[in-house]
């Protein structure tokens, strides 16, 4: 389900009123206040980052990746690498078929780059690993967005079950689907890409601490930990877990050897898409100010959605008004994310490229994860990519 549709359904069902009368579902103890940055899942030092707490670990990771990249290219310094390509894939539920189609069509066009830095949120988190691994994974990416149906994603619960449980639907089928695609070969390919100096970053939201978390998927894959594959699948599941619609993903962690449990949900609770924290490029700005060579960087943003306001007649009723408010907040949040990324790249002298669903695609999905809708949207993105997508150099809503 699209995030806005799921939240509107939750409000419309009256669940927000009924939940207050329900008992708690057992869970492990939450990480104590202020300790989330010290909590670890697999014991891998660079397995994840907390950008609202400190970006130094992420800065260090970028520098180490740059050194691995330098060695691969055989150049004197990291600044001598020929080019650097970044990709951010947004959330959008079944609208993720647009980005999947665009990437596959782009491969057919013949000029799709190998991405050195890929980020994903929600449905974008499901696309990102395939995009990161390149055109060799296009067939699987196509299958994910044109071959699955709602039964591969969710199992509906009755209203009573939803009120006494933790969500309107069970996403166990999605976990099974993710686990099927994330096989040992894919895990090995993710590790190889990481060792070559490329980074795949997935965003989730830690509900207890109210912090966004950026997961270093390649480092987890390359760790050799026996739970690496399962952990990555759970991270992807968490990033796509719309609060209230799907259960949160409970992740076991330790702090100083003591066990705790974190509750992770849709990364879109913090941002529907992200490229990088501005603090990461301070050295780049300093070099540019000193008129030293800076690495040519291309940033591509795939917005799995529209960027024009979604007009709708609103009934003068409480639930209708609340639902429309949720719709508006999510729409505007997605627009603001795109503008924020554009402004950040412009300040850093990074070439900005944006793709989004245009007004010329007017087909409406009759149901969540409708296969007919997703195939039409995939073909729409595919044809545009195959013909040479006309990337926008600035958001249509930017000043």
In order of 47, 177, 231, 316, 373, the CA distances from 155 in angstroms are 31, 13, 22, 33, 20
Instruction: State the distance between the two ends of the chain, measured CA to CA, in whole angstroms.
Output: 32
Looking at residue 221, what is its pLDDT?
Answer: 98
Looking at residue 17, what is its pLDDT?
Answer: 47
Q: Over the Cα atoms of the chain, what is R_g?
A: 21
Cα(176)–Cα(178) distance, rounded to whole angstroms?
A: 5
Looking at residue 15, what is its pLDDT?
Answer: 47
Question: Which residues in the chain show pLDDT less than 50?
Answer: 1, 15-17, 19-21
Q: pLDDT tens, 58-92?
A: 999 999 999 999 999 999 988 888 899 999 999 99
Looking at residue 184, what is its pLDDT?
Answer: 97
Contacts 24+ apart (CB under 8 A), 55-59: 55/277, 55/279, 55/280, 58/214, 58/277, 58/280, 59/279, 59/280
Cα(261)–Cα(243) distance, rounded to whole angstroms?
A: 17
pTM of the model: 0.91
Looking at residue 123, what is its pLDDT?
Answer: 93
Looking at residue 6, what is its pLDDT?
Answer: 55
Looking at residue 158, what is its pLDDT?
Answer: 72
């Amino acid at each position: 389900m699209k995030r806005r549709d799921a939240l509107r359904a939750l409000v419309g069902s009256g669940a927000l009123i009924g939940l207050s009368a329900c008992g708690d579902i057992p869970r492990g103890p939450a990480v104590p206040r202020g300790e989330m940055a010290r909590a670890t899942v697999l014991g891998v030092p660079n397995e994840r980052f907390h950008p609202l707490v400190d970006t130094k670990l992420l800065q260090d990771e970028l520098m180490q990746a740059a050194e691995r990249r330098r060695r691969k290219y055989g150049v004197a310094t990291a600044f001598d690498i020929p080019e650097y390509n970044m990709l951010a894939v947004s959330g959008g539920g079944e609208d993720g078929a647009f980005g999947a189609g665009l990437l596959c069509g782009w491969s057919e066009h013949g000029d799709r780059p190998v991405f050195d830095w890929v980020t994903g949120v929600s449905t974008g988190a499901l696309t990102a690993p395939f995009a990161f691994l390149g055109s060799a994974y296009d067939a699987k990416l196509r299958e994910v967005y044109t071959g699955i149906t709602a039964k591969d994603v969710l199992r509906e619960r009755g209203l009573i079950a939803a009120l006494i449980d933790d969500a309107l639907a069970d996403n166990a089928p999605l976990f099974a689907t993710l686990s099927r695609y994330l096989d040992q070969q894919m895990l090995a390919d993710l590790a190889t890409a990481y060792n070559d100096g490329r980074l795949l970053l997935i965003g989730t939201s830690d509900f207890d601490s109210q912090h966004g978390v950026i997961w270093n998927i390649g480092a987890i894959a390359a760790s050799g930990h026996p739970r690496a594959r399962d952990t990555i699948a759970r991270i992807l599941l968490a990033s796509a877990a719309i609060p209230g619609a799907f259960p949160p993903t409970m992740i076991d962690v330790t702090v100083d050897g003591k066990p705790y449990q974190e509750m992770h949900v849709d990364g879109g609770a913090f941002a529907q898409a992200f490229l990088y924290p501005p603090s990461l490029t301070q050295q780049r700005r300093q070099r540019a100010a000193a008129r030293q060579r800076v690495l040519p960087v291309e940033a591509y943003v795939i917005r799995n959605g529209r960027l024009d306001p979604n007009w709708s007649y609103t009934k003068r009723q409480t639930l209708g008004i609340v639902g429309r408010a949720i719709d508006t907040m999510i729409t505007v949040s997605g627009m603001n994310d795109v503008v924020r990324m554009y402004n950040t790249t412009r300040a850093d002298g990074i070439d900005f490229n944006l793709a989004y669903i245009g007004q010329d695609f007017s087909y409406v999905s009759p149901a969540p994860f409708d296969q007919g809708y997703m195939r039409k949207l995939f073909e729409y993105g595919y044809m545009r990519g195959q013909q040479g997508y006309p990337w926008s150099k600035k958001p249509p809503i930017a000043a």
